[in-house]
Amino acid sequence: MSKSPLLLSVNFIPKDEVPVIAGCFADREVIDWEHGKKPGTLDGVEYAIAWNSEPELFSRMPDLKVIFSAGAGVDKILANPSLPADVPVVRFVDNSLTTRMSEWVCLQCLMHLRQQRQYDALQRGHCWKELPQPEAKDVQVGIMGMGVLGQDAARKLAVLGFNVVGWSRTKKTIDDIVCYDATETDAFLAQCQYLVGLLPLTAETTGIFNRSLFQKLAKHPVLASPVFINAGRGASQNEADLVSCLADGTLGGASVDVFETEPLPQDSPLWEFGNLILTPHMAATSEIIELGRSVARQIGRFEAGHPLEHVVDRSLGY
Ligand code: NDP
Ligand code: OXD
């Protein structure tokens, strides 16, 4: 093999799935950094697939040309102290990941709309009782983060009949979806009975979902609302505020896939709320074969002199 090796440092890829990635690179050695024997030197290694990698990893790679994120979010890579300033970081943008996220978001909105947690409680009490049931068209869902994931989720929620509004740093123009930019935050929040977070973690979005924001959301006249749904990053939510807002009724319900600390500590009060649907950062896990194919295709483009796709803007942090 004459081509530069690819270093794989992704802690969520188990050892027995590394061959799935390696199979996408017939002509290139894949160094399994997490499970394999670590080579004495990483000189000559031009590419890395990284995630939550050890702090000094990149300083061992003097010939590094591109870092590929194993997921859509790049906050952990950008926070790595050995990240070189001049090496491009490429996000994982993938149909399968996008589809899974939209499935999760639609599921959560429907779970709250159709009051499934209340029906679960009624079932446990052997209670045959029908609740008043508005339609999706009677519910306003706002999405904070109208990027690849937010836009797909918005379109699919609109197909289900929800009234969807979107919010992002730069204003979007999307058929049937009223969009707001970051200068119109309060006007946007006042529209939202359900609020979906699909934001990257940056300095600006850290702690953005807090009591002050939750208090600005709209109340639905029939359903438990407002409802907070977050699959972006846990550090964007103030969990003490989330707990107190669920406890005092500022929030009528929530669905949360991401947490300040993962795994969620056993003593977190969030485990206990009946009106909170909690999933373990699984809304849109990267499909390993698609990750391998995507990186192989991008390296092919790069070596053919074409621009890389989905390069992170370091000045924005996503
Ligand atoms: P994108 O980069 O495509 O979109 C990010 C969106 O957030 C953009 O619309 C951007 O605005 C907006 N945004 C960023 N910063 C701000 C800000 N300060 N104010 C207002 N809007 C802002 O990312 P993706 O849609 O691909 O992914 C979003 C995030 O989802 C990831 O970063 C990751 O954290 C999370 N994720 C979670 C997964 C899970 O399983 N739970 C799986 C995959 C991703 P603009 O359009 O103007 O640039
Ligand atoms: C991602 C994730 O960013 O899974 O892709 O969180």
> For residues 211 and 238, is the Cβ–Cβ distance under 8 A?
yes
Q: Which bound ligand lies closest to the C-alpha atom of 100?
A: 1
Ligand 2, atom 5: closest residue by C-alpha: 71
The response to whether residue 234 sits with its C-beta less than 6 Å from ligand 1 reads: no
Query: Nearest to residue 199, comparing CAs of 257, 254, 286, 265?
Result: 257
Count of Cβ atoms closer than 10 Å to residue 220 Cβ: 19
Q: What is the pLDDT of residues 209-228, one digit of tens each?
A: 999 999 999 999 999 889 99
52: CA distance to ligand 2 center in Å?
Answer: 11
Q: What is the largest CA-CA distance in the chain?
A: 69
Residue 109 in contact with ligand 2 by CB distance below 6 A = no
Place of tokens 């846990």: 234
The string of pLDDT tens digits covering residues 252-310 is 999 999 999 999 999 999 999 999 999 999 999 999 999 999 999 999 999 999 999 99
User: Within 10 Å of residue 275's Cβ, how many Cβ atoms?
Assistant: 17
CA of 233, nearest ligand number: 1
Model confidence pTM above 0.75: yes
SS (H, E, C) 169-195: CCCCCECCEEEEECCCHHHHHCCCCEE
3-state secondary structure (DSSP) of residue 162: coil
Choose which residue among 286, 288, 318 to substitute to test ligand 2 binding: the one with the highest number of ligand atoms within 8 A of its C-beta.
286
Which pLDDT does position 145 carry in this prediction? Answer: 98
Q: Which of 51, 95, 97 to mutate to test the pocket of ligand 2 (most atoms within 8 A of CB)?
A: 97
Q: Which residues are catalytic?
A: 233, 281
Residue 138 Cα to ligand 2 midpoint, Å, equals 31
The atom of ligand 1 lying closest to the CA of 205 is 18
pLDDT tens digits for range 81-127:
999 999 999 999 999 999 999 999 999 999 999 999 999 999 999 99
Decide: 72 in ligand 2 pocket, CB within 6 A.
yes
Distance 197 CA to ligand 1 centre (A): 9
Q: Are strands 6-9 and 47-50 parallel, antiparallel or unpaired?
A: parallel
